[in-house]
Amino acid sequence: MSVGYVKVGQVGEFPPGSLKKVIVGGEDVVVGNVDGKLYAITNKCTHRGGPLDEGDLEGNAVTCPWHGGQFDLTTGKVLGPPPLKDEVCFEVMIEASNVLLKKKLTD
């Protein structure tokens, strides 16, 4: 396994258009499948802490179930209010059929 990465499941556990909560280093993370590619961001909405894995995924936009805030799953950027702060992104690596995540370093 690559250094710094944590195994969070198998590729088949993340079907296209789905959102799934996993835990990386004690932190809730949401993994989503956008057109067959996996992306991951922190799972707690930066507005009021809503669980993004319980929201909707349309294209690359994740909608928080609490107040309708939207984030780009591929970048973590806010797409729509009320959140103002972006989500933290995770690097996703596939090794064989294992899904591995690692928190991205901020710029």
Task: Count the residues in the chain.
Answer: 107
Domain residue spans of the chain: 6-103
Q: Cβ(33)–Cβ(101) under 8 Å?
A: no
Question: May I ask the CATH architecture of the domain 6-103?
Answer: 3-layer Sandwich (2.102)
Query: 77-102 as b/e, with b when 16 or more CB fall inside 10 Å?
Result: ebbeeebeebbbbbebeeeeeebbbb
Q: Which two tokens stand for residue 86?
A: 């972006």
Q: Give the amino acid at 72.
A: D
Interval 28-42 mean pLDDT: 97
How high is the pLDDT of residue 1? 58
Single pTM value for the model? 0.94
Q: Is the pLDDT of residue 78 over 90?
A: yes
How high is the pLDDT of residue 2? 77
Q: What's the CA dihedral at 78, 55, 106, 101 to 10 degrees? A: -150
Residues 10-32: pLDDT tens digits? 999 999 999 999 999 899 999 99
Q: Give the amino acid at 95.
A: E
What percent of the chain clears pLDDT 70, i.e. is strictly above it?
A: 97
Tracing tokens 């590729």 back to the chain, one arrives at 11
